[in-house]
Structure 1
Amino acid sequence: MERGTIPHGSDDGSVGDVAYLARSPHRIPTLVLLTERPRSRSELCELVNVSSSTIRRTMGEFEDRLWVRKDGYKYVATRLGEAVAEGVDELLDRLGTERKLRDVWHWLPDEVTALPVESWSELTVTVAGPDCPYQPVNRFESLLGATDTLRCIRPEVALMEPCFDLLCRLVDDGLDVTIIDRLNCHTYFYSTYPERSTELLERENFSVLEHDELPPYGTTLLDDRVAISCYERESGTVQALIDTAHPAVREWAREVYERHSADARPFEPAPLPG
């Protein structure tokens, strides 16, 4: 078959091209590499870890589709190849985000699920797994270290307790914190960490409010981002943390915070025994 003669009207059409790219794990990375700069066959073999015969065959198939052309002893992506690589790369990025979102989708507020699909790339999704159950907490800790203000609604014990030492240090350094949660969560910290909790409650930059009717997810407003924490309903364990700087999410989170803070009550701890 002559170069550039892949039939346009073939039965599988564009779906066939997608299937062709996806069938072997080296094809998409190879095409993306060629959009960066011209590369030799030996360089491509090393970068994508396949044999010379595989790359030779792949380059022939790419040339048939007019995605690449030969430039001396190197290959370079054509404008068609660049368009394909860009589109596939965007699709993979979107699917990567979707794979993380699908397991926590039912926990998310409607305002977040209603975001334009194009905005999904702005969501950082951190999911707990069997081998890394504390990844959402670790992500939350990294966000704490990059803000001067913290406004939390239902942060839950499972999210805050691992960060408690860090939070105390940050409050000492001037972090301005307001936490709105259920009474039992505040009582847990006050009874488990009585000295440090008492010290925190005496600080002007640390406020604790209680509220009886909170959403099933946590919402945290930071200087530049919003974090949404998803909990397993029975155990209260943190299943995922989703954070973003998307303006629509920030506006929604601000409204949620103002609505709940308006009718929240100051936490008044009961005297500790002894």
Structure 2
Amino acid sequence: MESALAEIEFLVLSSNRVAILEALAEEPRDRSALAEATDASQPTIGRILRDLEERRWITRTERGYEATATGRLVAEGLTDLLAIVETEQRLRPVMEWLPVDVMAFDLRRLRDATITVPSRTRPSAPVRRVNGMIREAEDVRVCSHAFNEQSLEAVRERALDGPGTFEGVFSRTAIDALAEDDSLRTRLRELASSDGAAIRIHAEEIPIAITIADDRVHLMLRDDDGVLQAAIDTDDPEVLSWARSVHEAHWSAAAPLDAEGL
């Protein structure tokens, strides 16, 4: 294990070594092409090529240099490791609020996700982000333990004024909270009665807050006290597939909302 760690250390202590090995794993290149790919000097490139040749990670050919089978193996593993670490660094500030126990997908799928957090100047930034997505989408599906006034209005405007459709399944507590306010109850009844919308109530508390706006998934992240801490959205296909399956499962187990009975 120590020898393997030493080789990893050798490689990662130089960004140029990493860049050159990854470049040669893609295709054969000569020194000029490697210089363009890395901005390294010719003496530096020469030293790196000798080091990589000693480890039999690359070999010289008529076309220049190319990675060997083991060199490609190392390059692929390093690329995966870098992706994992980069993802972890991005998720670290919000990791404690991620509902990982119900997220049935590889966290690496969130590598390119957009993370939105509240700030002193924009405390409602996560809510504004999802409502902007809702207003622009044709098809909106929600599966959540919460339904606030801003989201209700965004969905209501879309369902009443546009050609879009809305399917929302909520915990009973989310609907009851809206129904306690006369104005919100009226708007909720209008939404539920519109042709483009359907709302269902789940008997049990839904442990997650998902919005699917067309092909983009938005997750609201709250702490144990229910305070909104951040939001993540992505168009990754695996995350989208997972979100749709979660919505479908809760939708199938829920009962239609009686709009007149609110």
On whether the aligned pair clears a TM of 0.5, the verdict is: yes
Q: Identify the residue that residue 54 of structure 2 maps to in structure 1.
A: 64
Shift of 1:23: 1.1
**238, 245, 253: which one aligns with 2:238:** 245
Aligned with residue 178 of structure 1, among 168, 189, 192: 168
**3-state SS of 1:92 partner:** helix
Question: Is 1:128 the counterpart of 2:116 in the alignment?
Answer: yes
**Offset, 1:193:** 11
| Contact 1:104/1:240 (8 A) holds in 2 | no
Q: 1:254 aligns with which of 232, 248, 258?
A: 248
**Aligned counterpart, 1:54:** 44
Task: State the one-letter code of the partner of 1:13.
Answer: S
2:12 — aligned with what? 22
**Cα displacement (A) at 1:155:** 5.0
Under a length normalisation based on structure 2, what TM-score does the superposition of the two structures give? 0.70
Aligned: 1:13 with 2:7: no
Q: Separation in 1 of the partners of 2:139 and 2:132?
A: 13
Q: Compute the displacement of 1:46 (Å).
A: 2.6
Q: How far apart, CA to CA, are the structure 2 residues paired with 1:38 and 1:170?
A: 55
Cα distance in 2, alignment partners of residues 136 and 45 from structure 1? 46
Post-superposition offset of 1:105: 4.6
Q: In the superposition, relative to structure 1, how do residues 223 and 242 fare at CA in structure 2: closer, same or farther (>3 Å)?
A: closer
SS at match of 2:143: strand
Q: Distance in 1 between matches of 2:21 and 2:131?
A: 36
Kept after mapping to 2: 8 A contact 1:104/1:230: no
Cα distance, 1:46–1:235 mapped onto 2, change above 3 Å: farther
Please say if residues 127 and 136 of structure 1, whose CA atoms lie closer than 8 Å, have aligned partners that are also in contact. Answer: no
Structure 2 Cα separation of the partners of residues 152 and 175 of structure 1: 15
SS of match in other structure, 2:210: strand
Q: Is the 8 A contact 1:209 1:265 kept in 2?
A: yes
SS in 2 for 1:151: strand
TM-score, normalisation: structure 1: 0.67
2:24 corresponds to 1:31: no
Contact 1:151–1:257 (8 Å) recurs in 2 = no
**Corresponding residue number in structure 1 for 2:227:** 236
- Change in 2 beyond 3 A, CA 1:255/1:169: closer
Identity rate, percent = 24
| RMSD between aligned residues | 4.2
Deviations 1:90-120 (A, max 9, x none): 22223333334443255405232xx47xx33
Shift of 1:52: 2.3
The amino acid that maps onto 1:205 is G
| Aligned CA distance change for structure 1 residues 234 and 167 (closer, same or farther; 3 Å) | same
* Residues matched between the structures, number: 251
Q: Which residue of 2 aligns with 1:79?
A: 69
What amino acid is the match of 1:128?
T
Unaligned runs of 5+ in 2: none
Q: C-alpha deviations, 1:29-57, integer Å up to 9, x for none?
A: 22111122222223322322332222221
What is the CA-CA distance between 1:65 and the residue it aligns to?
1.0
- Cα distance, 1:135–1:230 mapped onto 2, change above 3 Å: closer
Contact 1:226 1:253 (C-alpha < 8 Å) held by counterparts: no
Whether the aligned pair in 2 keeps the contact of 1:178 and 1:208 (CA below 8 Å) is: yes
Amino acid at match of 2:39: N
The 2-side partners of 1:266 and 1:109 are apart by: 33
Q: Render the CA deviation track for 1:192-238: whole Å, top value 9, x for unaligned.
A: 898x7675444122244567963453134567676542124557335
Query: 1:120 corresponds to which letter in structure 2?
Result: L
Q: 1:193 to 1:69 in 2, by over 3 A?
A: farther
Q: Distance in 1 between matches of 2:99 and 2:197?
A: 28
**Is it true that 1:98 corresponds to 2:85 in the alignment?**
no
